[in-house]
Amino acid sequence: MPDQPLSLFITGGCTFEGKPFCHVRMGDREGSLTPAEVRALALGWLAAAEASEQDAMVVAELTDPTGVALPIDLAGAVVAGIRTRRGQIQGLGEIDQRPENMRMDQRDDG
């Protein structure tokens, strides 16, 4: 893990041939993605944010001492099952969002 958090910067552009592209920069890595690729990443991030909040609510409800009061490991197992079903119902596979898989090349500014 880096000492300082990395920020992801994305800007839109157009080639001299009139083709749209998105310039992506994170730390010393940069590259370009198609608008469709950026939209897919954004959708994946939004889905992950929503799922994490839903998971947290389920765990809170299942472990509430005034309610069901399940142990955290059982609540975690329930959440794991919900995640599996969520993926099956929504037809969402995991989107690989690791920077090294975003076709970004190392910059050498030196």
Query: 45-72: string of b/e by CB count within 10 Å (b at 16+)?
Result: eebeeebeeebeeebeebbeeeeeebee
Task: Name the residue with higher pLDDT: 78 or 95.
Answer: 78
**pLDDT tier at 82, thresholds 50, 70, 90:** confident
Residue pLDDT, tens place only, 41-72: 999 899 889 989 999 999 999 999 998 899 99
Contact between 31 and 102 (Cβ < 8 Å): yes
Structural domain for 22, as ranges: 1-33
Residue 91 lies in a domain: yes
Residue 104 lies in a domain: no
CA angle 63, 65, 69 (to 5 degrees): 45
Query: In the predicted model, is pLDDT for residue 1 greater than 60?
Result: no
pLDDT at 65: 92
Residue 16 lies in a domain: yes
Alpha-carbon span 13 to 22, nearest angstrom: 6
Split into its structural domains, the chain has a count of 2
Q: Is residue 54 located within the same domain as residue 86?
A: yes
Query: In the predicted model, is pLDDT for residue 23 greater than 50?
Result: yes
Residue 84 lies in a domain: yes
Residue 73 lies in a domain: yes
* Helix, strand or coil, per DSSP, at residue 18: coil
Q: Is residue 91 located within the same domain as residue 50?
A: yes
